[in-house]
């Protein structure tokens, strides 16, 4: 039966997908701006595990030396352990950048800002923050600066060794917890939920440090949030890396106190012999000054300071969120 002009069918037309949308099985893997964040993270960690295990097998096969399960808290131990982990994450992040059509700079490590002004500002602020914290404890009679532990050439030797070690630690911890995983999570669930989650994971990773305490772990989580505030406002990890290195160097080498529960103060390698006495909630106890509630207050204050210092939001780069590939 023919239809007159202007008539219509009783059978509704099939739904038309909106431009750029995905439906069916494709929607399980993709969203309008590219492969879903969860699948990209899964691929990232699969590559990380595969390459990491392969390199370990090659190393053990050719050196016939078992790889230690725990890294000694010493300059050599930190350079070897943290350095190898950082390089592995950097390699896999570079591979993912090629797959996704992005740059490693999009994950918070732009080469053009390498060791620039913000990095050195971080070094100074990190050293100054630890000095301020210990000065406050000294005012309350909880911190005692004793004799110098090094002389002559050893002063420069250990200053350099610990400097390289904590620069390596800064690269490792900041890029591992606030590099590719944070960027990718941010494209899926938003920046601040991702920042809180990664800061919690960052704190959990320190749970296994000897002598770590609950306030010490809260301090680590607060540090993670502070580093995310800096990344959010500056657009890079260079200031947090410098801050991390300056903070740890001041604690371990310069003042000779425990660093996040790890103690290297009884052997050679620290400039000053500093002791803490008094209530653990104020001094940090075995965890060191990072386990003090004063330290948590200091980090919260630094969060507001950095937010005021860098008022503009620069991360993640909105133009790089969509998957170019």
**Local confidence band at 262 (pLDDT 50, 70, 90 cut-offs):** confident
Domain assignment present for 174:
yes
pLDDT exceeds cutoff 50 at 2:
no
Q: Is 317 or 11 the better-scoring residue by pLDDT?
A: 317
Please give the pLDDT value at position 9: 44
Q: Is residue 22 part of a domain?
A: no
> CB within 8 A of 264, min separation 6: which ones?
73, 74, 252, 270
Percent over 90 (pLDDT), the chain? 64
Residue 287 lies in a domain: yes
Q: What does each C-alpha distance from 193 to 79, 183, 291 come to in angstroms?
A: 32, 12, 25
Query: Is the pLDDT score of 11 beyond 60?
Result: no
Is the confidence at residue 10, as pLDDT, over 50?
Answer: no
Question: Residue 8: inside a domain, yes or no?
Answer: no
Q: Is 166 exposed, middle or buried (0-12, 13-18, 19+ CB in 10 A)?
A: buried
Mean of the per-residue pLDDT values of the chain: 87
Count of domains forming the chain:
1
Residue 273 in domain: yes
Express each pLDDT in 28-74 by its tens digit.
677 766 778 899 999 999 999 999 999 988 888 887 776 666 667 88
- Per-residue pLDDT band for 312 (boundaries 50, 70, 90) equals very high
Count Cβ atoms below 10 Å from residue 123 Cβ, excluding itself.
24
From the list 122, 284, 290, 299, the residue with the least C-alpha distance to 225 is 299
Please report the pLDDT score of residue 324 as a whole number. 54
Within a domain: 2 = no
Residue 180 counted as domain residue: yes
Whole-model pTM: value is 0.87
Of the ranges 5-14, 203-212, 306-315, the best mean pLDDT one: 306-315
Residues paired with 30 in a beta bridge: 35
Residue 138 has pLDDT above 70, yes or no: yes
Residue 309 located in a structural domain:
yes
For range 299-308, the mean pLDDT: 97
Inform me whether the pLDDT recorded for 232 exceeds 80. Answer: yes
Residue 254 lies in domain: 31-321
**Window from 55-59, 205-209, 316-320 with minimum mean pLDDT:** 316-320
Asked if residue 126 has pLDDT above 80, the reply is yes
Q: What is the mean pLDDT of residues 125-149?
A: 93
């Amino acid at each position: 039966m023919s239809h007159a002009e202007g008539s219509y069918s009783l059978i509704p037309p099939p739904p038309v997908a909106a431009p750029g949308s995905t439906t069916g099985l494709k929607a399980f893997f993709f969203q309008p701006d590219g492969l879903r964040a969860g699948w990209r993270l899964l691929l990232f960690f699969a590559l990380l595990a595969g390459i990491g295990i392969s390199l370990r097998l090659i190393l053990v096969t050719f050196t016939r030396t078992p790889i230690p399960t725990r890294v000694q808290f010493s300059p050599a131990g930190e350079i070897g352990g943290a350095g190898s982990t950082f390089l592995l994450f950097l390699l896999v992040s570079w591979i993912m950048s090629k797959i996704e059509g992005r740059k490693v700079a999009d994950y918070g490590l732009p080469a053009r800002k390498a060791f620039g002004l913000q990095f050195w500002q971080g070094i100074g602020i990190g050293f100054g923050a630890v000095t301020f914290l210990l000065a406050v404890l000294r005012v309350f009679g909880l911190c005692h600066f004793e004799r110098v532990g090094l002389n002559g050439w050893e002063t420069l030797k250990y200053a350099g060794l610990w400097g390289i070690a904590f620069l390596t630690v800064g690269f490792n911890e900041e890029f591992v917890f606030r590099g590719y995983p944070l960027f990718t999570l941010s494209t899926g669930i938003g920046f601040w939920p991702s920042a809180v989650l990664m800061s919690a994971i960052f704190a959990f990773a320190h749970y296994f440090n000897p002598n770590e305490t609950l306030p010490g772990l809260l301090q680590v989580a607060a540090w993670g949030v502070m580093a995310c505030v800096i990344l959010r406002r500056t657009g890079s990890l260079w200031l947090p890396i410098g801050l991390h290195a300056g903070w740890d160097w001041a604690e371990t080498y310069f003042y000779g106190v425990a660093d996040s529960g790890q103690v290297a103060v009884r052997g050679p390698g620290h400039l000053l012999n500093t002791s803490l006495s008094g209530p653990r909630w104020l001094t940090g106890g075995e965890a060191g000054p990072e386990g003090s509630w004063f330290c948590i207050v200091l980090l919260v204050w630094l969060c507001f300071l950095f937010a005021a210092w860098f008022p503009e939001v620069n991360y993640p780069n909105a133009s790089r969120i969509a998957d170019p590939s």
